[in-house]
Amino acid sequence: MPIAPPPQLKAGLFARNVGAGKKDDKKKDAPKAAGPKGFPIEHRIGVQAPAEVIWNIVSDLERWSEWNPLYPKAAGAIRIGSQLTLTLALPGQAQRQIQPVVLEWVPNEQLHWRLTMLGGLVNNVRYIEIEQLAEESCIVSNGEIFGGLMGPTVAKSLGRAVHRGFREMNEALKARAEAHWSAAKG
């Protein structure tokens, strides 16, 4: 019995070269790149301050201890591939040290890191994203995608504590950013 040829793929790695070389193709939008798979937990909050003010607080890891209840200790450099050392203080849980690796960052917009736990059975992507709505207002999305074989199970067991931690961190970030912005305006 002959083996069927492999299916035609719409796009290569990261959806590049869609429809390349086909003259009869009508203009098509490239498919959106798929994000990480897993169980997401997120909290969003509006902040009355410019993205730059929020980013300056988020990117100053050494001062997280002054305002951040979820990560009361933080150290490291925000560079792609660098390892951060964070103390995670989930509500109702014992504090523990984690060492995620920075995946990507864009000043005034986002910080993403990856944390692998339980020998690779849990692979989390953590993000803090700033979306500027107007000159002096933003939405901050604070979340994590629990992936890997055990990721969804861990997310379901810790979900309420994780969401509460994100909410508390966002509220503290909002208070600090708005206070900094108010002081800067005079």
> Is 73 buried (19+), middle (13-18) or exposed (0-12) by CB count in 10 A?
middle
Percent of the chain with pLDDT over 70: 81
Place of tokens 């660098």: 82
Place of tokens 């931690």: 165
pLDDT exceeds cutoff 60 at 5: no
pLDDT exceeds cutoff 70 at 7: no
Provide the residue type at 175 as one letter: A
Provide the residue type at 62 as one letter: E
Tokens of 26: 């009508």
- How many angstroms separate the CA atoms of 136 and 2, rounded? 64
pTM for the structure as a whole: 0.80
CB 72 within 8 A of CB 64: yes
Tokens of 149: 């074989």
pLDDT tens digits along 94-127: 999 999 999 999 999 999 999 999 999 999 999 9
CB 46 within 8 A of CB 130: no
- How many angstroms separate the CA atoms of 84 and 51, rounded? 23
Of 5-14, 57-66, 72-81, give the lowest mean pLDDT range: 5-14
